[in-house]
Chain A
Amino acid sequence: MKRLMMLVLATAILGLALGASAEPVKIGMITTLSTTAAYLGEDIRDGFQLAVDQEGGRLGGVDVELLVEDDGAKPEKANQIAERYMKKDGVKIMTGIVFSNVAIAVVPKVVRDGVVYLSANAGPSQLAGKGCNENYFSVSYQNDNIDEVVGQYVNDSAHQNVYLIAPNYPAGKDHLAGFKRYFKKEIKAEVYTKLGQSDYAAEIAAIRAAKPDAVFFFLPGGMGVSFIKQYAQAGLNEEIPLYGPAFSFDERLLAAVGPVALGVKNGSQWSHDLDNPANRQFVAAYREKYGRTPTLYASQGYDTARLIGSALKVVNGNLEDLAAFKAALRKADFESVRGNFSFGSNQHPVQDLYIREVVKTDDGNYTNKTIQKVFTNHVDAYAAECKM
């Protein structure tokens, strides 16, 4: 009788344990699905979802449940969502924030509360240097990387001087600082414009008069679309080559600027034509599922999902031992669509960076073509400041 009781008890415990492991791991995605930046969040989500769907609802063999909420690009709204994920859903893994200002508002708080946050886009310097945290991983980049690669490329080119233009807000200054870190020749002028400006006629006339060898601009979203159009309409694209970070040249914005962006060179950590098996597979699967070419945001969402999968596999879906999960994440033992990928001391990517050029495809669309690898295993500038 006693023995039977023991057997029943053992079965019950086993059943409980099995039940617990069958409960899917919840991943909380906070991203931007409204406002003009909606397509960025959409691509991060779609890239992430693709990785989950390819495993039939699992990552690393562990059942996962992806929760997605729209932050409307607003820090306070993102904070509310994060709060809800933690308190109501018991989420231990978060990702997805598009904008740096939102990330700065949300990430320090959630990582302090024991959540592992993996950035699929925003990589503000504040979280890479002194503000680094062992619960925070950037899978995308440190923001400056994308400008540094262009700075180095232009520095190595025949151009003797360059004209800089960015919006007058903190990120604008950061991006130009990233460029200047590797560009050692003459800065002809450094112009800051109003945030959200759409008419650049005055600035373009000033560029024409200043006759620089090259122009580097950081104007995200619609500002960049307006600037590139007007730059080409003024005929300057024939005379003074334009350079920028990848943000104004992702595959979806190219549909809006098309021919006027032809020939512009831009810096990125990824491109759909990178030749490695993981990337070929990803691009083909993404095109088939969503009917469009993935952007860098989609690639970041996909890599984030696969990185999470690699670590979930090691701990077998058990997040009770968060240290083991983080140790597995740090190994970055997954096939990144970028090829080389590892984490530096501040848990930001150590990766290769490329220069791409906007070209016209045979079917009349516009896309990026990788023309040169500028940095190999590039470490961001803030890693040394991180004491972890």
Chain B
Amino acid sequence: MILFAEQILNGLQLGITLFLMSAGLTLVFGIMKVINLAHGSFYMIGAYVGATVTAASGSFLAGILAALGAAGISGMVVELIVLRELYQRDHLDQVLATFGLIFFFNELTRIIWGKQPLFMDVPTWLQGNIEIMAGLVYPVYRLFVIGVGCLTALLLWFLFSRTRLGMQIRAGASNRRMVSALGVNIKLLYTLVFGLGTLLAGLAGVMAGPIFAVESGMGESILILTFVVIVIGGIGSVKGAVIGALLVGLVDTLGRAFLPQLFRLFLSSSVADGVGASLASMSIYILMAAVLILRPKGLFPSHD
């Protein structure tokens, strides 16, 4: 029972990290209709800059701020230089260009930071474990990640439904020409939205830094999961991203944790371990397929 509760927390934590990634991606796609394969690169930039600044200044908060700034600014620069040319083109051109950006950024990090992974540890004030309930000890840092993710979700909700900027973004998503005829600088708005998306990816990256290996190409492995999340959640919907991310996080974690045990009930242990492990790595894709069969546009489609 305690193990189950712990695994639920692990699933939540993975889900929250995925949410930070997918919120940015789904925003950019939903509002700007751009498929950004290089989203993982901004996650990597966040992690690298966060690790470097944390190590140099000794302050994790400074690291987070620097990571947010670096990811947001580099995102806006990419939007200005690369994507602005591509809005009128079809998705294939966008995919090719952003795919090229992945290579560009991977090689750039190797040139700047060298070939081996960077070191980033949990800051001292977040180290250690706390006992949430009898027998259930959980790393403080992972709870912190969950907290930061929830706070970000609240802020995003506030931004979109309670501010003028959010209103303009939503309006720009449904009718770009009308909004610009009303005197809103839609180009600037797109740059800001893209910057916000990459900033969220940078946040995910810096939060992941102390847990995962900070290495060139780290964005790609999480990018696949992120795409699964936005397909499940419904492309363009932040609410869908929240639900999709939590679903994927929980299904993936619980699958890895309990499927082998489940199979042990009726198979020999070595066979059960093999089958369970294989099925666990498939579980989220099975989930995605099931969602697509029942709701082809995802759980919360943003436009109909």
Binding partners A and B: yes
Binding site for B on A (CB under 8 A): 34-36, 38-39, 42, 168, 189-194, 196-199, 201-203, 205-206, 208-209, 221-226, 229-230, 233-235, 252-253, 255-260
Residue of A nearest to B17 (CB): A199
- Does B168 sit at the interface, judged by CB under 8 A? no
Can you list 27 A-B pairs, Cβ within 8 angstroms, ordered by A?
A36-B216, A38-B110, A168-B277, A189-B269, A189-B273, A192-B274, A193-B277, A198-B211, A205-B6, A206-B3, A208-B6, A209-B3, A221-B213, A222-B117, A222-B215, A226-B211, A229-B121, A229-B211, A229-B212, A233-B127, A233-B211, A235-B139, A252-B116, A256-B116, A256-B118, A256-B215, A257-B119
Q: Is B214 an interface residue (CB 8 A)?
A: yes
Q: Which A-B residue pairs are the 10 nearest by beta carbons? A: A222-B213, A225-B213, A201-B10, A256-B117, A39-B115, A202-B257, A38-B115, A192-B277, A194-B281, A252-B116
Across the interface, B115 reaches (CB within 8 A) one of A42, A199, A229, namely A42
A192 cross-chain contacts in B, Cβ below 8 A: 273-274, 277
Q: Which residues of B contact A230 (CB under 8 A)?
A: 211
Since A191-B273, A223-B213 are in contact, a sample of 17 more A-B pairs with Cβ atoms closer than 8 Å, ordered by chain A residue number, is A35-B217, A36-B117, A168-B277, A190-B273, A193-B256, A198-B218, A199-B17, A201-B13, A203-B256, A208-B6, A222-B218, A233-B139, A233-B210, A233-B211, A234-B129, A235-B137, A258-B119
- Contact at A235–B260, with CB atoms within 8 Å? no
Q: Please tell me if the beta carbons of B211 and A255 are within 8 angstroms of each other in the complex.
A: no
Q: Are B128 and A235 in contact (CB under 8 A)?
A: yes
B42 part of interface (Cβ distance < 8 Å): no
Q: Give the chain A neighbours of B115 by CB distance below 8 A.
A: 38-39, 42
Tell yes or no: B246 within 8 A of A by CB: no
Instruction: From the candidates B117, B129, B214, B253, name the one contacting A201 in the complex (CB within 8 A).
Output: B253
Interface contact A256-B213, CB-CB below 8 Å: yes
Bound-complex Cα distance A316 to B253 (A): 61
Contacts of A198 in B (CB 8 A): 208, 211-213, 218, 221-222
Q: How far is the CA of A201 from the CA of B7 in the complex (A)?
A: 8
**Residues in chain A near residue B210, CB distance under 8 A:** 229, 233
Interface flag for B278 (CB, 8 Å) = yes
Which of B121, B129, B221, B253 is within 8 Å of A196, CB to CB?
B221
What residues of A have a CB within 8 angstroms of the CB of B118 in the complex?
A: 256
Please measure, in the bound complex, the distance between the C-alpha atom of A17 and the C-alpha atom of B257, giving whole angstroms: 70
B153 vs chain A, min Cβ distance (A): 20
**Chain A residues with CB below 8 A from B142, complex form:** 201, 233
Q: Is B300 in contact with chain A by the CB < 8 A criterion?
A: no
List chain A residues, Cβ under 8 A from B245: none
Binary interface encoding of chain B residues 280-304 relative to chain A, with 1 for a CB under 8 A from any of its CBs, else 0: 1100000000000000000000000
Our count of residue pairs bridging A and B at CB distance below 8 angstroms stands at: 122
Is B122 close to A, CB under 8 A?
Answer: yes
Q: In the complex, which of the residues B122, B139, B208 has the most CB atoms of chain A within 10 Å of its own CB atom?
A: B139
Q: A168-B278, A259-B121 are in contact. Are A202 and B213 (CB under 8 A)?
A: no
In the complex, how many angstroms separate the beta carbon of B250 from the nearest chain A beta carbon? 11
Residue of A nearest to B253 (CB): A202
Q: What residues of B have a CB within 8 angstroms of the CB of A229 in the complex?
A: 121, 210-213
CA–CA, A199 and B218, complex, Å = 12
Q: Are A202 and B7 in contact (CB under 8 A)?
A: yes
* Chain B nearest Cβ from A16, distance in angstroms: 45
In the complex, how many angstroms separate the beta carbon of A34 from the nearest chain B beta carbon? Answer: 8
* B241 CB within 8 Å of chain A: no
Q: How far is the CB of B21 from chain A (nearest CB, A)?
A: 13
- Distance of A179 Cα from B212 Cα, bound (Å): 26
B57 at the interface (CB under 8 A from A): no
Are A256 and B214 also in contact (CB < 8 A) when A196-B221, A233-B139 are? yes
Q: Which residues of A contact B257 (CB under 8 A)?
A: 202-203, 205-206
Instruction: List the B side residues contacting A253 at CB < 8 Å.
Output: 116-117
The CA of A34 and the CA of B216, in the complex, are separated in Å by 10
Name A251's closest neighbour in chain B (CB-CB). B116
Please report which residues of chain B, range 208-236, place their CB below 8 angstroms from some CB of chain A when the two chains form the complex. Answer: 208, 210-218, 221-222
Contacts of A258 in B (CB 8 A): 119, 121
Q: How far is the CA of A190 from the CA of B141 in the complex (A)?
A: 28
B8 to chain A, nearest CB (A): 10
> In the complex the two chains form, is B253's CB within 8 Å of A255's CB?
no
Q: Which residue of A lies closest to B257 (CB)?
A: A202
Please give, as numbers and ranges, the residues of chain A lying within 8 Å of B277 by CB-CB distance: 168, 191-194
Report B131 CB to chain A, min CB distance, Å. 11
Taking the nearest CB of chain A, how far is it from the CB of B284, in angstroms? 10
Is B270 an interface position by the 8 A CB rule? yes
Minimum distance in angstroms from A33 CB to a CB of chain B: 8
B196 at the interface (CB under 8 A from A): no
Cβ B213 vs Cβ A205 within 8 A: no
| In the bound complex, CA of A255 to CA of B3 (Å) | 33
Known: A222-B218, A253-B116, A255-B116. A205 touches B211 (CB 8 A): no
Is B14 part of the binding interface, using a Cβ–Cβ cutoff of 8 Å?
yes
- B215:A36 contact, CB within 8 angstroms: yes
- Residues of chain B contacted by A252 (CB below 8 angstroms): 116
The distance in angstroms between the C-alpha atoms of A206 and B254, with both chains bound, is 11
Minimum distance in angstroms from A263 CB to a CB of chain B? 16
Which one of B2, B3, B129, B281 contacts A235 once the chains associate, using CB atoms below 8 Å? B129
Across the interface, do A205 and B139 meet the contact criterion of CB distance under 8 Å? no
- B117 near A225 with CB under 8 A, answer yes
Most buried by A among B115, B121, B127, B221: B115
Closest beta carbon of chain B to A379's beta carbon, Å: 28
| Cβ-closest chain B residue relative to A194 | B281
Write out the residue numbers on chain A whose beta carbons fall within 8 Å of the beta carbon of B110. Answer: 34, 38
CB-defined contacts of B222 to chain A, threshold 8 Å: 198
CB pair B212 A226 closer than 8 Å:
yes
Complex contact A190–B212 (CB within 8 A): no
Question: Which one, B114, B217, B270, contacts A190 given CB within 8 A?
Answer: B270
Q: Which residues of the other chain, B, contact A222 by a CB distance below 8 angstroms?
A: 117, 212-213, 215, 218
